[in-house]
């Protein structure tokens, strides 16, 4: 059974600092997704990672994928308040058609 | 395009009442999903469908039923609501493109069972 674990679950950081969110998954997966959710809102797609070693960057966020370690990271560089949100990773497989989510990381960026 | 539309957006039910949540998509997507979101637990898959007339169980299917009689609609039913079903429900649809599935999520339905 595919399981996805994120850590930390809550992250409070100062503006200007760097930090990394980790996403581990239990079985071989075809794809790894990162989403952002603002309070009371739906999910916004950030990145889709398809293969081992894949790296994608958008602004202050960079996501990477290590399929051998079954690990993805979301790195935040020089955090700003606007990045405060909950971040989810999720994985799916062609064989199951299911998108399974981690528990999410609630990020709070303090001035 | 409207994307994925969920109705209603808010609902309060009494224990034991029944209701149906409607998800409609206008993108001709094959795959549709129902999730529930509870604090600290992320999104958990309730049921999903890989095409018109098909449904399958997800991670937390108990207490829910679904139907997909038309490709564009995916209905989630609660036959006898319980307080444990208080949650935010999200519908999603997807299609395969460029080696990955493009998922589109609805805006959510906030359900309270008292």
Q: Residue B64's closest CA among B37, B36, B40?
A: B36
What tokens does A3 get? 């399981």
Predicted confidence (pLDDT) per residue in B25-62, tens digit: 999 999 999 999 998 788 999 999 999 999 999 999 99
Average pLDDT, chain B: 94
Q: Do A43 and B105 touch (CB under 8 A)?
A: yes
Q: Which of A7, A25, A33, A98 to probe by mutation at the B interface, max B CB count within 10 Å? A: A98
The full DSSP string for chain A is ---EEEE-SEEEEETT--EEEEEEESS--SEEEEEEE-TTS-EEEEEEE-STT-EEEETTEEEEEETTTTEEEEEE-S--GGG-EEEEEEEE-TTT--EEE---EEEEEE-
Query: Would you state the pLDDT for residue A37?
Result: 97
Cα–Cα dist A107/B73, whole Å: 34
The model's confidence at residue B1, banded by pLDDT at 50, 70 and 90, is: low
Interface A:B, Cβ pairs < 8 A:
50
Q: Which residues of A touch B106 (CB under 8 A)?
A: 42
Q: What is the pLDDT of residues B8-30, one digit of tens each?
A: 999 999 999 999 999 999 999 99
Average pLDDT, chain A: 93
Q: Is B41 on the interface with A (CB under 8 A)?
A: yes
From residue A87, alpha-carbon distances to A9, B42, B78 in Å are 9, 10, 29
User: Among A42, A48, A103, whose Cβ lies nearest the Cβ of B105?
Assistant: A42
Smallest Cβ–Cβ distance between A103 and the set B31, B42, B48 belongs to: B42
Strand B4-7 with B109-113, pairing = unpaired
Mark yes or no for CB contact B100/A50 under 8 Å. yes
What integer pLDDT is reported at residue B88 of this predicted model? 97
Mean pLDDT calculated for residue range A98-109? 95
**pLDDT tens digits, B82-92:** 999 999 999 99
The per-residue pLDDT for range A19-62, each reduced to its tens digit, is 999 999 998 777 899 999 999 999 999 999 988 889 999 999 99
> pLDDT confidence of B74, banded at 50, 70, 90?
very high
């Amino acid at each position: 059974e595919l399981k996805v674990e994120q850590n930390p679950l809550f992250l409070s950081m100062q503006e200007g600092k760097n930090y990394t969110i980790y996403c581990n998954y239990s079985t071989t997966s075809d794809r790894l997704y990162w989403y952002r959710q603002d309070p009371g809102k739906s999910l916004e797609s950030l990145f889709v990672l398809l293969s081992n070693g894949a790296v994608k960057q958008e602004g202050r966020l960079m996501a990477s994928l290590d399929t051998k370690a079954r690990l993805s990271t979301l790195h935040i560089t020089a955090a700003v308040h606007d990045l405060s949100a909950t971040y989810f990773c999720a994985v799916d497989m062609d064989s199951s058609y299911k998108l399974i989510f981690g528990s999410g990381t609630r990020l709070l960026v303090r001035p | 395009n409207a994307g994925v539309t969920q109705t209603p957006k808010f609902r309060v039910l009494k224990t034991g009442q029944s209701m149906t949540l409607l998800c409609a998509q206008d993108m001709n997507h094959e795959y549709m999903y129902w999730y529930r979101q509870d604090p600290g637990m992320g999104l958990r898959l309730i049921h999903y469908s890989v095409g018109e007339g098909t449904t399958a169980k997800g991670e937390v299917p108990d207490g829910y039923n679904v139907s997909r009689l038309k490709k564009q609609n995916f209905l989630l039913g609660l036959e006898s609501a319980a307080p444990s079903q208080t949650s935010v429900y999200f519908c999603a649809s997807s299609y395969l493109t460029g080696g990955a599935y493009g998922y589109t999520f609805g805006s959510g339905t906030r359900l309270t069972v008292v």
